[in-house]
């Protein structure tokens, strides 16, 4: 089983930073398959900052000095992506200047960077929205194909992002709908 092999390989620690708590499997985005090369064990801190656009703790990422040299393709790809996002930090740029990635790892890492460079989804105030956020509707919205309107002030919890950065998905009155992000306000 994939999970058992990854956990055994990781020896009970995050493969990015070495933290032994709050561990879950992390699949590298843009990977063609899920296997031991593209799935690794990561802590909540690493996973949340890798998957969101926010880097809340730059000092945490000094662990990339080791992670970039990992024998695991997925760890190297995510480490490269994080170093690229942190390239304004002198230590990260120095590491990027000396790192060597084989073509497969570089292609995987750069594919994920292209995904991350898409335009952010913004609410009415220009606040970036992330999957899982809670928003409130700022106006009544007709719901196509349904017999109700989504009322102003309705909380939409655990939103999902779509391929279109101008739209989000959410559940209103038990129905999953697509909502124009400009008609929402992040809670």
Q: Render pLDDT for 102-137 as a digit per residue (tens, 0 to 9).
A: 998 888 888 867 555 456 888 999 888 888 889 999
Residue 78 burial by Cβ neighbours in a 10 Å radius (0-12, 13-18, 19+): buried
For residue 141, the cross-strand partners are: 150
Across 107-154, the runs of DSSP E, i.e. the strands, are 135-137, 141-142, 149-150
Calculate Rg over the CA atoms of the chain: 19
The class that CATH gives domain 135-186 is mainly beta
Distance CA 28, CA 151 (A): 38
What three-state secondary structure class fits 93? helix
Q: Widest CA span of the chain, in angstroms?
A: 60
Q: Which regions of the chain carry the CATH code 2.30.30.40? A: 135-186
Q: Render pLDDT for 79-99 as a digit per residue (tens, 0 to 9).
A: 998 888 887 888 988 998 898
pTM of the model: 0.60
Interior CA angle at 69 toward 64 and 74, to 5°?
80
CA 9, 15, 21, 23 torsion: positive or negative?
negative
Query: What percent of the chain has a predicted confidence (pLDDT) above 70?
Result: 94
């Amino acid at each position: 089983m994939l999970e058992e092999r990854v956990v055994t390989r990781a020896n009970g620690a995050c493969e990015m930073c070495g933290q032994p708590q709050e561990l879950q499997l992390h699949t590298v985005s843009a990977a063609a398959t899920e296997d031991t090369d593209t799935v690794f064990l990561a802590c909540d801190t690493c996973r949340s900052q890798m998957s969101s656009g926010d880097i809340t703790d730059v000092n945490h990422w000094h662990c990339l000095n080791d992670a970039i040299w990992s024998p695991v393709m997925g760890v190297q790809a995510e480490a490269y992506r994080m170093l690229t996002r942190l390239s304004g930090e002198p230590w990260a740029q120095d590491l990027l200047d000396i790192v060597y990635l084989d073509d497969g790892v570089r292609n995987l890492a750069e594919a994920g960077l292209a995904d991350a460079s898409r335009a952010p989804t913004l609410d009415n105030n220009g606040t970036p929205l992330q999957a899982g956020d809670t928003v409130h509707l700022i106006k009544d919205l007709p719901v196509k194909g349904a017999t109700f309107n989504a009322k102003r002030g309705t909380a939409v919890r655990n939103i999902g992002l779509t391929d279109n950065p101008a739209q989000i998905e959410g559940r209103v009155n038990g129905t999953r709908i697509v909502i124009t992000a400009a008609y929402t306000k992040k809670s």
